[in-house]
Structures are given as structure tokens and as C-alpha cells.
Amino acid sequence: MKKIFIQIFAYISPVLTLAQIVSPDGGPVATFGGGTLTVSEVDPGPEIIDTWEPPVMEGDRSVIWIHGLGGHGDLSASDESNSWIQASSTSDINYQMESRRPDYSDVSLDAASTTLRTQLEDYDLSTDAFLIAHSQGGIVSRQFDKYIHDLGWERTFNGVVTFGTPHGGAMILNNRDLIVQWLDEACDDLGNGPWQETLDDSFFFSILNLFSGIENADDKVCALLIDEILPVMFNLDAYYAGVTDGYYVGSPELDELNAYTPDIPYVTFWGEETEPVSWNTMVHMLPGKSVNSEIYGAFGANNDPYLTEQATYMQNYYLAKYNEYKNNKVNWDEFWDLIIDFFEDDAAITDAEVAAAYRDGYDWFTQANSTWKVIIGATELVYGTNTSCLCVDVMEGYEVWYTEEDLMDFSCDEIEFYYEPFSECNEVVDVVLVDVIEKINDGVVLKESASSCPGKVSGKKMDGSNHFSMRNDLQTQIRLDELFGGFHGSYFEIAPR
């Protein structure tokens, strides 16, 4: 899921060119400018040198760690971007095991399984090897296991452990349009306030506005980002047309996979992130905040409040700017009023317009977490219909409404015949929100999707873990110690060093 979050920050950062985030105590923390997010207080530290591998002792057990979507194994990364580097290397030190971290193709689920098979067959694995997979990696591992059964491939592992794998599908993949819409709104809502304020405070920009329509420039920038730049930068079509076709909710490939019952043990772990799940999850996409970063260390990527604090500060900042401009009485002094009025009565950006623009930004921050939960399927909005009868007097035009309760005794036609003979009556059907269902999630994948799969023999929740941190937080350590200690089945037990 990494690329989705990269898109979010690629959208948000350029539209705040004129804004600066500061820490709650007043010091500069992050500046948005020119499309680049610079986090001045986060030091990613020196590049991690690949010194992870402990000596392999005779009799060490093979454990294969499978990365998720957008992740990396040993062939493509040797530093902190290697998805399982902290957890696997620390486990090698503490337990009699040898870790392998393969890569795989993301062209399709079949291609991913095939390339994973090739790498595992090339490894010199112990006969009691098993897989530990994150997110999409669990789907690929299950498909690999299915092909071993269906196609007679060589069996190179005899157990599968999944972290945050969407066994029932990932709703975020069904909601691509909602993601683009949300980011489009972010570009407009967060950029309009600072942009309108610049026009409001500058006579030069206001005069230029008369001849060039510069006030629409922010719309053009957002359109350029959405239509031209991001599809090229992130190859969005390929992202959704590749291996992810195998596990969106309702995917035929996933339905077929879930119809297969394996004959080897499976263990599932799932995260239950705390609110606000959006910012608590996205923090690990910031520079220096990778879950494997040295600032966290082994199993140290626990709930990081940094982005939540900054989002709260920015929300309050937009609210303060809204109140500032809402309460202003005069926008232009009399001299500039005369000049602007000479060209066009409404040429100036009014304080009310600036206030409204900042209010849009405030509302975006206020609703961001709720919107994100709808996108990932964690908030399900249940709609129903409400039927009423509207009667309009044919002579006078006044309206009379009859409620759904009234329609329990009479139809709209009967109401017109018996009670409104001089009116034209018609049924009106409105779509109304009748319920909101909240679902436990890790910021990307729902508990109901990640917690169960065919062949499961054990599983456990990870309190406070999000979809990214679950690869290297305290809950990761606890669950791995339980796993290697035999708590989730004797097959996964590994002796300590």
C-alpha cells in the first residue's frame, strides 16, 4: 500500500507552497514548498550498512520473510527500505534461524507466485522452512501454496504466518476513484486559502487578475497534478492493474484462492490502530519515519504522534485564519478601492472569500480521518430511502408535504383525490443515511479481512499497530516471540540461541 500514501503527500505538499507548518511550541518543524516536504527536525541518520546477517550455524532453521505491495527484499534493497530487515535480523540474532528476504514480480498474482517459487528453489533451505508475510505478501504466499497443491510444485515451506494480509480483500483497491477525489479536494481546499490570501494582500496580483484570470491558477495546478504528473510518476494504471487485481474485494482470483483449504498450518496477525488511524498510519511515509529507520531501532516503530500533532496544528491554523478574515471589516483602503472599482467592481478578493477558502481547508482536516476510513472500508455508510408526498396547489402554487407515516394509510394518489383535489400530488423519494458502521482496522486493512483465512490454526491482534508499524513495533516483537516460542503451534517453534 506504500504508493498510495506517497501519492497523498505528493498532493498535499505542493498546494501548501505558501504555508509553513510549525510545531505547537512555535519552532519550525516542516515547510511545504515547491512540491517537496522537508522535515527539518527529523534526522534519518546515516545510511544503514548491510551488517544484518549473523553467522549461520549448522542446524539453523530457514524463515522466509515476504514483503508487501511496494516493499523490497534482499535483491532490491539492503538498507531500511528492505521491508523486514529489522525484525528478521534481530530474530536471527536471538533465535536459531536463518532469514531470507526474497523479491517477487508485481505484474500479476500468478507472476508473483512464480518468481517467488524460483527464488525459494534457488535457496538452500532447511526442510522445516516457513514463510512470514506482510500484507500483499500473504496473498502471494497463499497462491504459491495453492500452486504447490494444484500443480505439483516442489514444496519448499510447510507453514505460513501473515501480518496484516487482506485475506478477505482490500477495500482500498476498490476505491481508487475516491482516493483521487479526496486528493483533488485536498489540493483545492488546502491551497485556496494561502493563494487567495496572496491575491487579497497584493495590489499587483489583483490587477493581474483582471487581465489573466490568475485566480484560477490553483485549479490549473491541481488539474496538472491529477491528470499529468502523478499518473506518470507513480504509474497508477499499472499499480492497480497488476498483482492488486488478485485481492480487491470481490476479486474472482481471491474467491478462488479462498475456496482452497491448505494442508499446512496458517497463523494470522492483524493490527488494531488507535484513532486517528489516518495520521497514525501515514506518519511512516514521511522522510526519516520509515518503520525500519534507525531513529526507531529494532521493534521501536510504535505509535508516533508526529503527524497527528502536525495535522491538529494545521487544522487550528486554518481555523484561526478563517476567523481572522471573517472578522475583518475592511479589505482595501479607499485609494485602492477606487482604482479596482474603475476596472471591475468585484476584482478584489474579499475577506469573505479568503475566510471561506480557509474554512474549506479547516473542513478538509476535520474530515480527513473520517474520509480515509470510508476509503479503506472501515466506515460503512448505510443508506435507505424516505418516501413522502408533495402536493402543489395548481392555482396558488403553495406546497403541502405528507410524510412517510401519512403514506402508511393512503397512497399519494389517494391523498390527492380525497384531501387535495385542487393540487397535483407526486411521490418524492429521498436517499437518507440510516446507519454508520465502524470497523476495526490497521489504517489500511480491516480486522475482518486480516484475521481469518482457510487453514488458520491460530492468530492474535496487535494492539496499536498500524499497517506499516506492524513490521517493526513492540507488538511485532511480542507476536514473534510467541510464534517462535510455540504459542501458535509447535511447528513454528524455534530454539533461542
Please check whether residue 325 lies inside any domain of the structure.
yes
Residues 341 and 460 in one domain: no
Residues 163 and 78 in one domain: yes
Please check whether residue 8 lies inside any domain of the structure.
no
Choice among 174-183, 198-207, 379-388, 415-424 with the minimum mean pLDDT: 198-207
Residues 98 and 153 in one domain: yes
In whole angstroms, give the CA distance from residue 142 to residue 130.
12
The reported pLDDT for the residue numbered 36 is 35
Residue at 91: amino acid letter: S
The reported pLDDT for the residue numbered 199 is 62
Residues 259 and 403 in one domain: no
The pLDDT of residue 110 is above 80 = yes
Q: What are phi and psi of 369, to 5 degrees?
A: -65, -45
Burial class (CB in 10 A: 0-12, 13-18, 19+), 133: buried
The pLDDT of residue 209 is above 50 = no
The reported pLDDT for the residue numbered 6 is 45
pLDDT digits (tens, 9 = 90+) for 140-154: 999 999 999 999 999
CB neighbours of residue 16 within 10 Å: 22
Residues 75 and 199 in one domain: no
Please check whether residue 267 lies inside any domain of the structure.
yes
Please check whether residue 194 lies inside any domain of the structure.
yes
Q: Is the peptide bond before 276 cis (omega within 30 degrees of 0)?
A: yes
Domain that holds residue 89: 42-170+247-304+441-492
Choice among 30-39, 127-136, 156-165, 477-486 with the minimum mean pLDDT: 30-39
pLDDT digits (tens, 9 = 90+) for 294-303: 999 999 999 8
The reported pLDDT for the residue numbered 218 is 52
The pLDDT of residue 336 is above 70 = no
The pLDDT of residue 134 is above 50 = yes
Q: CA 313, 314, 318, 319 torsion: positive or negative?
A: negative
The reported pLDDT for the residue numbered 224 is 58
Residues 165 and 84 in one domain: yes
∠ CA 127-132-133 to the nearest 5 degrees? 135
Where does the pLDDT of residue 451 fall: very low under 50, low under 70, confident under 90, or very high at 90 and above? very high
What is the CATH number for 117? 3.40.50.1820
Where does the pLDDT of residue 214 fall: very low under 50, low under 70, confident under 90, or very high at 90 and above? very low
The reported pLDDT for the residue numbered 76 is 80
* 77: Cβ contacts below 8 Å, ≥ 6 apart: 83, 85
The pLDDT of residue 60 is above 50 = yes
The reported pLDDT for the residue numbered 351 is 84
The pLDDT of residue 99 is above 50 = yes
The reported pLDDT for the residue numbered 21 is 36
In whole angstroms, give the CA distance from residue 421 to residue 26.
70
Residues 177 and 106 in one domain: no
Choice among 153-157, 176-180, 378-382, 493-497 with the minimum mean pLDDT: 176-180
Long-range CB pairs of 50-56, under 8 A, 24+ apart, other chains included: 50/78, 50/79, 52/85, 52/88, 52/89, 52/92, 53/89, 53/92, 54/89, 54/92, 54/93, 56/98
Are 296 and 476 a contacting pair, CB within 8 Å?
no
- Residue with the larger pLDDT of the pair 184 and 354: 354
The pLDDT of residue 413 is above 50 = yes
179 Ramachandran zone, left/alpha/beta (phi>0; psi -120 to 50) = alpha
Residues 79 and 157 in one domain: yes
Residues 266 and 220 in one domain: no
The residue out of 354, 376, 398 marking a domain boundary is: 376
- What angle do helix axes 109-122 and 136-151 make, rounded to 10 degrees? 80
Number of domains in the chain: 3
In whole angstroms, give the CA distance from residue 116 to residue 105.
8
Please check whether residue 19 lies inside any domain of the structure.
no
In whole angstroms, give the CA distance from residue 383 to residue 389.
20
Residues 274 and 362 in one domain: no
Residues 235 and 251 in one domain: no
The residue out of 323, 346, 376 marking a domain boundary is: 376
Radius of gyration over every alpha carbon of the chain, rounded to an integer in angstroms: 28
Please check whether residue 269 lies inside any domain of the structure.
yes
Residue at 68: amino acid letter: G
In whole angstroms, give the CA distance from residue 259 to residue 274.
33
Please check whether residue 86 lies inside any domain of the structure.
yes
What is the mean predicted confidence (pLDDT) over 333-342? 52
Pairing of strands 423-438, 379-393: antiparallel
Please check whether residue 15 lies inside any domain of the structure.
no
The residue out of 438, 456, 472 marking a domain boundary is: 438
The reported pLDDT for the residue numbered 53 is 46
Are 127 and 141 a contacting pair, CB within 8 Å?
no
Residues 68 and 161 in one domain: yes
Helix (H) or strand (E) holding 463: strand 456-463
pLDDT digits (tens, 9 = 90+) for 231-253: 544 445 545 648 999 999 999 99
Mean pLDDT computed over every residue of the chain: 82
Are 120 and 64 a contacting pair, CB within 8 Å?
yes
The pLDDT of residue 323 is above 60 = yes
State the DSSP code for 407: G
